[in-house]
A and B are shown apart, each in its own frame.
Chain A
């Protein structure tokens, strides 16, 4: 019988003190996440005495096995659950409150930033700004400045934009034909374009000024920014495994919201300056309502990608 006596390496032999759960609980095993060639020292007041049998070193090292990470013996196909505990829900709620209150406090500065960035885009792409009008964002009771941009009525729109409309319709139809999955989305945009062309031609009074649009836009967007923390708390914090990462994703979405909103508004104003109201409904749908959904979805998909990697990477032990 071999008696596995120790050959102490380093510190002299010391017994385990107490019954510290932290010391005695085995650490989760993460195959591949740490090297096992150099035995790890246990934490706490337990000076690990390694089962270390003196063996003769000679010759070349044996060739390592094909893979360092042991495939799970039991390929369980899915995780049971995420840690959606009461504490996690409370943390999500607190974070949402914190973000909302911070945003309310910073709202004037964010709106100013939004105006400046929108103005910068318009200048960069040579859209003439006749002036800046004060508007009241009535939803949040804040003053803002809206750029005054000349928007031509339908009869004043040159042939170029009308041709552009036709080309856009054709392009969308070709896209729908090529990719079956895009058919209905492209079809809906075509319907919007055709409807707006019809309305523009039939109703010359169909017009919205840049100031009015900016006011409506800011109203919707500021409310969206105030609601985003609650959505973020739900989808990034409550329904994902890691609280800290969830908070970071919430912050990322919140920080992204204002600049992207400024960009979209600037583009819509630029399009209206060149094409009048022809493209407005389609752009309002695609960049307005859908725009918010798109970027939230983008961040959410990336967060799920990251979380899944972390969740499954830490799956060192499995019960069944």
Chain B
């Protein structure tokens, strides 16, 4: 019996061992000092740039390294080094592994490789094929062709993103952003974001359609006209200001929308449509050329804004957005277009606000057919 009791003890010990780490983890968690949750965190567009500048201010107050000179201050921050200097130029094909603080203008030659953040108090020009970690500029910034920035870019002045350059996080400017053909960013936010080739005059002006299918907030569906691509019996009201259309909506005449509309299918709007309220398509959405969108336009798949569309609020697509030539995003407040995957912007697109995508916002070169990109809109 004693042997059996010993066996029981061993069994209990083996059993406990399976819970021992859990028990230890619990004791550690119980004794652990709670971390402060950042309830103060604000979601702002230029968060990275602001945060970096704030930290830089603290870092620059650290004691200088003994090998500093009046021209070049070196500050050791743990295992990193900060170099603070005046206006500078970096020759091509150079590698820097320090945080650079340039209290003036900065110019980097082609093929440079910066593994740490850069701050520039003046204007900045980065040569082609350079690689950066992140950069904050208080003046204007020009990125050459083929530049890759692994994280964010923030500038007070105008930003020009060169051909085929790539920024893997946010790009923000307090003045303007211009994307050359092939440029890719995760998001671009500025008082004005544009692609190259912009013209001042709209390529297609908007005027209220003389003949249109008008959908007001309150009407009996059977009183609506039956036009090609629209069947009133498929319209159902689900709230005082919202309609549901149960099928594809492919109109041959402009739509004048005065209530919210949810289309359970694809939605193709004719040229010159006028949307005063929100429109949603569960399929893909094509907004005809020269249309005006005052409400939000959303799709569970793709959204295509044809030439000269004016949107004054928000565009949201779960997959892709295509902004064709001449699209304008102007509103009383900053507007935004956000795609879950890609946002393709042809030349002469101007948006006062934000362009964003889950994977990339891409400025499409002139002359490239979007159909070749396999955008898979399926709707138009």
B239 at the interface (CB under 8 A from A): no
Among B3, B11, B90, B95, which residue has its beta carbon within 8 angstroms of that of A267? B11
A2 at the interface (CB under 8 A from B): yes
Determine whether the beta carbon of A125 is less than 8 Å from that of B3: yes
Determine whether the beta carbon of A29 is less than 8 Å from that of B115: yes
Q: Hey, what's the 0/1 contact readout for A300-320 against B, CB within 8 Å counting as 1?
A: 011001000000000001111
Chain A residues whose CB sits within 8 angstroms of the CB of B3 once the complex forms: 125-127
Q: A55-B69, A62-B64, A62-B65 are in contact. Are A319 and B168 (CB under 8 A)?
A: yes
Q: Hey, what's the 0/1 contact readout for A114-148 against B, CB within 8 Å counting as 1?
A: 00000001000111000000000000000000000
Q: Choose the segment among B45-53, B257-265, B345-353 that binds chain A (4+ C-beta atoms closer than 8 Å).
A: B45-53
Q: A73-B52, A73-B55 are in contact. Are A319 and B78 (CB under 8 A)?
A: no
Q: A4-B94, A36-B79, A125-B7 are in contact. Are A74 and B51 (CB under 8 A)?
A: yes
Q: Hey, what's the 0/1 contact readout for B218-260 against A, CB within 8 Å counting as 1?
A: 0000000000000000000000000000000000000000000
B113 at the interface (CB under 8 A from A): yes
Q: A36-B80, A320-B169 are in contact. Are A62 and B75 (CB under 8 A)?
A: yes
Report the separation of the CA atoms of residues A37 and B59 in the bound assembly, to the nearest whole angstrom.
Answer: 17
Q: Hey, what's the 0/1 contact readout for B123-164 against A, CB within 8 Å counting as 1?
A: 000000101110000000000000010110000000000000
How many residues on chain A are close to B (CB under 8 Å)?
A: 68
Report the separation of the CA atoms of residues A42 and B76 in the bound assembly, to the nearest whole angstrom.
Answer: 22
Q: Choose the segment among A46-54, A84-92, A207-215 that binds chain B (4+ C-beta atoms closer than 8 Å).
A: A46-54
Q: Hey, what's the 0/1 contact readout for A5-43 against B, CB within 8 Å counting as 1?
A: 110000000011001000011110101100111011010
Q: Hey, what's the 0/1 contact readout for B80-119 against A, CB within 8 Å counting as 1?
A: 1101011111110111111000001100000101011000
Among A1, A50, A160, A317, which residue has its beta carbon within 8 angstroms of that of B89? A1
B33 at the interface (CB under 8 A from A): no
Determine whether the beta carbon of B1 is less than 8 Å from that of A301: no
Report the separation of the CA atoms of residues A90 and B7 in the bound assembly, to the nearest whole angstrom.
Answer: 44
Nearest CB of A to B133, in Å? 6
Nearest CB of B to A312, in Å? 14
A162 at the interface (CB under 8 A from B): no
B31 at the interface (CB under 8 A from A): no
Chain A residues whose CB sits within 8 angstroms of the CB of B22 once the complex forms: 301
Report the separation of the CA atoms of residues A295 and B16 in the bound assembly, to the nearest whole angstrom.
Answer: 11
Report the separation of the CA atoms of residues A65 and B80 in the bound assembly, to the nearest whole angstrom.
Answer: 9
* Chain B 29-71 interface residues, beta-carbon cutoff 8 Å to A: 38, 41, 47-48, 51-52, 55, 59, 62-69, 71
Q: Could you say which interface size class chain B belongs to?
A: 35 or more
Tell me whether chain A's interface is mostly helix, strand or loop, or mixed: loop
B72 at the interface (CB under 8 A from A): yes
Report the separation of the CA atoms of residues A68 and B63 in the bound assembly, to the nearest whole angstrom.
Answer: 16
Chain B residues whose CB sits within 8 angstroms of the CB of A263 once the complex forms: 11, 14
A178 at the interface (CB under 8 A from B): no
* Chain A 269-298 interface residues, beta-carbon cutoff 8 Å to B: 270-271, 273-274, 294-295, 297-298
Nearest CB of B to A149, in Å? 12
A67 at the interface (CB under 8 A from B): yes
Report the separation of the CA atoms of residues A55 and B104 in the bound assembly, to the nearest whole angstrom.
Answer: 21
Nearest CB of A to B19, in Å? 8
B74 at the interface (CB under 8 A from A): yes
Q: A59-B66, A62-B65 are in contact. Are A25 and B169 (CB under 8 A)?
A: no
Chain A residues whose CB sits within 8 angstroms of the CB of B91 once the complex forms: 3-6
Which 10 residue pairs across A and B have the least CB separation, nearest first? Answer: A68-B78, A55-B67, A51-B96, A126-B3, A125-B7, A65-B77, A1-B87, A65-B78, A59-B66, A48-B95
- If A1-B105, A27-B115, A58-B66 are given as contacts, then 9 extra A-B residue pairs at C-beta distance below 8 Å, sorted by A number, are A2-B85, A6-B91, A16-B93, A26-B131, A64-B77, A74-B48, A267-B8, A297-B18, A319-B151
- Can you pick out 28 interface pairs between chain A and chain B where the beta carbons lie within 8 Å of each other? A1-B87, A2-B86, A16-B93, A19-B129, A29-B115, A29-B116, A35-B79, A36-B98, A39-B95, A42-B95, A49-B95, A50-B94, A51-B94, A53-B83, A56-B69, A59-B66, A64-B78, A65-B78, A66-B78, A68-B79, A74-B48, A75-B41, A125-B6, A126-B3, A295-B18, A318-B169, A319-B186, A320-B186
Interface residue ranges, B against A (CB under 8 Å): 1, 3-4, 6-8, 11, 14-15, 18-19, 21-22, 38, 41, 47-48, 51-52, 55, 59, 62-69, 71-72, 74-81, 83, 85-91, 93-98, 104-105, 111, 113, 115-116, 129, 131-133, 148, 150-151, 168-170, 186
